């Protein structure tokens, strides 16, 4: 690092101004920014696809785009949103930025590996974008065989290669977090003094490391099968398409928890801060995080209740799916209880966090409908499923991601944004979201299948409502882009701790210096030690 003598104060932002100083930086904070920029780009590409999908569905006839284009649009929407936005969203940006700060470390354990992860992400993104530019992929993000291996005429291998590569980005990020959290905590920072956000990053990392390789190998198998015309997934070749589904969902169901666990961590940080209260039942919250991560591995077969898997498997996976809902329910109740006797203020991050709790509750509850065997038979692959997982992934994960961005923006940039605009955007997104996705529950129960380019006319009213909501949602997502950028130039200096929050990341200046802390802090109490009259419990 260049010694910047005479400048006001050395921060990670002014440690270098050239493009190369960013692209070659091994500072976890700079890498977090690199991720933030790239995932935002992908979010808007995926969002553009969603916009076109909702426009097409305004009318029952397939009149805006052709059937093939529509199929490519929802595939692109899924692939990009899942692998290039949602999965890396909180872990790679906020996690990268905050984990070392929250545990009082100078950086992640393997900074160069961290930079390599970002390059892998970019490389994977390039493959996928290349597949899109070359004409797209029409398999759906699930790559089901034998359609993907033998019947699709699109660029399946390139897209699979992109996901394969970005998978290694996930694995290496997870590895880095696990080692960092185990080995680099500040003196006195015991496991049960860790902020819940760090717990969720730890649990997420376990999923990254143990689930992602299975997806990678499965996509590799698909590509080879497609290329050489021999393989174990296509029944015409003697294979079993359900084997693909098992391997795929072994990764892709836990991947849902990769999206929602970090969101839960963010919500825990925000709610405690703005309720000025300790989190209710800290230890149960931490155990619930681990329980969700581990039981989350055991429920994948609930995606396959009507696939032709055995009814024994259906039974096992159904009951395990109910089990994973218990720790999620505990978390919702504990967040609510955290508000009790707090001193609550309603700054923008808090609105996002409360919105998250509400939407996640609906998303989680509707998941219970789908875990019920006989009921899932009716609702499987309908818009009910679409609505359910968007409540989890968009209502849950994206809402929390935005909440986290707003909460830590002053720390990351050293600037304050307009609170009024931010609250307005939060409320707009909440209503836009509900208008978009609530009608889809009804559509789903009516039986409208997912991935339909055309649909029976009696579904039109609900689809129009949904599309109307989507336009509000789009405005809601563009707003933060505007006022946050504005704050970069014009925002008032934030100071080290504008929210008077606890947590080590607030004990260093904003933006933090390259080495995070002038001296490594020593921790003497648990997290969330807000001024409640109670003595330290946990």
Partner 1 sequence: MLNFPLFPERASALAARVDSVFFVWLALAGAVALSVAVLIVVFAIRFRRGSPADRNRESGPARRQKDRRMEIAWTLTPLAIFFTMFAWAASLYYDHAAPPGDAMEIYVVGKQWMWTLQHASGRREINELHVPLGRPVKLVMTSQDVIHDFSLPVFRIKQDVLPGRYTTLWFTADRQGDYHLFCSQYCGTDHSRMVGRVVVMAPAAFAEWLAGGSGSPTMAAQGAALFRQYGCSGCHGANASVRAPKLEGLFGRPVQLADGSSVIADERYIHDSVMLPAKEIVAGYAPIMPSFQGQIGEDELQDIIEYVKSLRAAAPGATR
Partner 2 sequence: MISHPVLPAKVYVLIWLALITLLLLTLGSAYLRLGWVNGAINLAIAVVKAVLVMIFFMHLRSGHYLLRIVAAAGFFWLALLIGLAFTDIGVR
Partner 3 sequence: MTEAVITARQFDDAQQQRSASDLGIWVFLASEVLFFGALFAAYAFTRFRYPDAFAAASRLTDVALGSVNTGVLLTSSLTMALGVRAAKLGARRALIGWLAATAALGLVFLAIKGGEYYLDYTQHLVPGLNFQYAGPDSRQVELFFYLYFFTTGVHALHLIVGIGIVCTVAAMAWRGVFSPDYFTPVEVGGLYWHLVDIVWIFLYPLLYLVSRA
280-285 long-range contacts, CB within 8 A, separation 24+: 280/334, 280/335, 280/337, 280/338, 280/340, 281/334, 281/337, 282/192, 282/196, 282/526, 282/527, 282/528, 282/537, 282/538, 283/192, 283/538, 284/330, 284/334, 285/196, 285/199, 285/330, 285/331, 285/334
Give dist(CA 72, CA 154) in Å, integer.
9
Length of the chain: 538
Q: By CB under 8 A, tell whether 323 contacts partner 2.
A: no
Stretch in the footprint of partner 1 (CB under 8 A) among 15-23, 184-192, 198-206, 377-385: 377-385
Question: Looking at 242, 259, 362, 386, which residue binds partner 2 (CB under 8 A)?
Answer: 242
The secondary element (H helix, E strand) that includes residue 208 is: helix 196-228
* Residue among 66, 310, 336, 345 that touches partner 2 (CB under 8 A): 310
Rounded-to-integer distance, Cα 198 and Cα 255, Å:
18
Q: Please, which of residues 240-259 interact with partner 3 by CB under 8 A?
A: 240, 243, 246-247
Stretch that binds partner 2, among 10-18, 308-316, 409-417, 450-458 (CB under 8 A): 308-316
Cα angle value 350/351/356 (rounded, 5°) = 95
298 binds partner 2 (CB under 8 A): yes
> Is the link from the previous residue into 426 a cis peptide, with omega within 30 of 0?
no
Among 13, 179, 427, 428, contact with partner 3 (rule: CB under 8 A): 179
Position among 54, 77, 193, 246 found at the interface with partner 2 (CB under 8 A): 246
Nearer CB in complex with partner 3: 42/517: 517
**Count of residues binding partner 1 (CB under 8 A)?**
91
3-state DSSP call for residue 188?
Answer: coil
Burial class (CB within 10 angstroms; exposed 0-12, middle 13-18, buried 19+) of 316: middle
Site for partner 1 in 270-289 (CB under 8 A): 275-276, 280-281, 284
CB of 180 to partner 3, least distance (A): 8
* Of 229 and 493, CB closest to partner 3: 229
Is the CB of 301 or the CB of 439 nearer to partner 2?
Answer: 301
Residue 359 interacts with partner 3 (CB under 8 A): yes or no:
no
Contacts of 237 by beta carbon, 8 Å cutoff, 6+ apart? 225, 229, 230, 231
DSSP per-residue codes, 322-340: HHHHHHHHHHHHHHHHHHT
C-alpha to C-alpha distance for 406 and 419, rounded to whole angstroms: 9
The one segment of 20-28, 65-73, 83-91, 252-260 that binds partner 1 by CB under 8 A:
65-73
Considering the rule CB under 8 A, would residue 229 count as an interface residue with partner 3? Answer: yes
Q: Tell me if the bond preceding 179 is cis, omega within 30° of 0.
A: no
Give the nearer residue to partner 1 in terms of CB position, either 394 or 448: 448
In the bound state with partner 3, the residue whose beta carbon lies nearer, of 119 and 227, is: 227
Q: Which residue in the set 224, 306, 325, 337 belongs to the binding site for partner 3 (CB under 8 A)?
A: 224
Dihedrals phi, psi of 445, to nearest 5 degrees: -70, -30
Write the interaction track for partner 1 spanning residues 171-190; mark x where CB under 8 A is met and - where it is not. Answer: --------------------
Q: Is residue 45 within the footprint of partner 2 (CB under 8 A)?
A: no
How far is residue 139's CA from residue 509's CA, in Å, rounded to a whole number? 48
Q: Any contact of residue 6 with partner 1 (CB under 8 A)?
A: no
Binding to partner 3 by residue 509, rule CB under 8 A?
Answer: no
299 three-state secondary structure: coil
Residues with Cβ within 8 Å of 348's Cβ and at least 6 positions away in sequence, in order, are: 406, 417, 419, 422, 423, 425, 426
The mark string for 202-221 relative to partner 2 (x by CB under 8 A, - otherwise) is --------x---x-------
Q: Are 122 and 203 in contact (CB under 8 A)?
A: no
State the binding string over 108-147 for partner 3 (x if CB under 8 A, else -).
Answer: xxxx------------------------------------
Q: How many CB atoms lie within 10 A of CB 245?
A: 23
Partner interacting with residue 323 (select from partner 3, partner 2, partner 1, none; CB below 5-8 Å by kind): partner 1
Minimum distance, C-beta of residue 459 to partner 1, in the bound complex (Å): 9
- Shortest approach of partner 1 to residue 253 CB, angstroms? 18
**Pairwise CA distance, residues 326 & 519, whole Å:** 42
Residue 150 lies near partner 3 (rule: CB under 8 A)? no
Report the residue from 240, 381, 419, 538 that binds partner 2 according to the rule CB under 8 A: 240
Give me the residues that bind partner 3 (CB under 8 A), please: 100, 105-111, 171, 174-176, 178-180, 182-184, 209-214, 216-218, 220-221, 224, 227-232, 237-240, 243, 246-247, 515, 520
Give me the residues that bind partner 2 (CB under 8 A), please: 182, 210, 214, 240, 242-243, 246-247, 250, 297-298, 300-301, 304, 308-310, 312-313, 316-317
């Amino acid at each position: 690092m260049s010694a910047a003598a005479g400048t006001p104060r050395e921060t990670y932002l002014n440690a270098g101004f050239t493009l190369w100083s960013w692209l070659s930086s091994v500072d976890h904070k700079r890498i977090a920014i690199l991720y933030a920029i790239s995932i935002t780009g992908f979010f808007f590409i995926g969002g553009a696809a969603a916009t076109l999908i909702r426009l097409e569905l305004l009318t029952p006839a397939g009149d805006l785009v052709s059937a093939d284009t529509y199929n490519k649009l929802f595939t692109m929407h899924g692939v990009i949103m899942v692998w290039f936005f949602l999965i890396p969203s909180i872990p790679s940006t906020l996690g990268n930025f905050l984990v070392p700060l929250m545990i009082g470390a100078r950086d992640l354990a393997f900074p160069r590996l961290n930079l390599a992860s970002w390059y892998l992400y970019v490389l994977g993104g390039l493959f996928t974008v290349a597949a899109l530019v070359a004409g797209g992929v029409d398999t759906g993000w699930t790559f089901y065989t034998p359609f993907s291996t033998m019947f699709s005429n699109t660029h399946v291998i390139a897209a699979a290669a992109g996901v394969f590569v970005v998978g290694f980005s996930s694995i290496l990020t997870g590895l880095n977090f696990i080692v960092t959290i185990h080995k680099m905590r500040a003196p006195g920072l015991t496991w049960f003094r860790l902020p819940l956000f760090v717990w969720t990053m730890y649990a997420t990392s376990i999923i990254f490391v143990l689930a992602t390789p299975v997806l990678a190998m499965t996509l590799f198998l698909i590509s080879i099968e497609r290329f050489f015309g021999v393989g174990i997934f296509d029944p015409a070749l003697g294979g079993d398409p359900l084997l693909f589904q098992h391997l795929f969902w072994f990764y892709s169901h836990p991947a849902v928890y990769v999206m929602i666990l970090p969101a839960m961590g963010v919500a825990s940080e925000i709610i405690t801060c703005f309720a000025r209260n300790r989190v209710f039942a800290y230890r149960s919250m931490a155990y619930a995080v681990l329980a969700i991560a581990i039981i989350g591995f055991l429920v994948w077969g609930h995606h396959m209740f009507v696939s032709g898997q055995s009814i024994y498997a259906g039974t096992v996976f159904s009951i395990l799916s109910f089990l994973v809902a218990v720790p999620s329910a505990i978390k919702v109740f504990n967040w609510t209880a955290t508000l009790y006797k707090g001193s609550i203020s309603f700054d923008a991050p808090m609105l996002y966090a409360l919105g998250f709790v509400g939407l996640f509750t609906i998303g989680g509850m509707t998941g219970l409908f789908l875990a019920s065997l006989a009921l899932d038979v009716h609702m499987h692959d309908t818009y009910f499923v679409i609505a359910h997982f968007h409540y989890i992934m968009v209502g849950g994960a994206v809402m929390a991601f935005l909440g986290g961005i707003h909460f830590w923006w002053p720390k990351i940039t050293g600037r304050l944004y307009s609170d009024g605009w931010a609250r307005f955007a939060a409320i707009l997104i909440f209503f836009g979201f509900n208008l978009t996705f609530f009608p889809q529950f009804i559509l789903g129960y009516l039986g409208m299948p997912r991935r339909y380019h055309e649909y029976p006319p009696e579904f039109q009213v609900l689809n129009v409502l949904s599309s109307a909501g989507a336009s509000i949602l789009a405005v809601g997502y563009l707003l933060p882009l505007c006022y946050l950028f504005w704050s970069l130039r014009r925002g008032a200096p934030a100071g080290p701790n504008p929210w008077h929050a606890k947590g080590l990341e607030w004990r260093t200046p904003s933006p933090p210096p390259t080495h995070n802390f002038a001296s490594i802090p020593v921790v003497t109490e648990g997290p969330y030690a807000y001024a409640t009259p109670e003595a330290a419990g946990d």
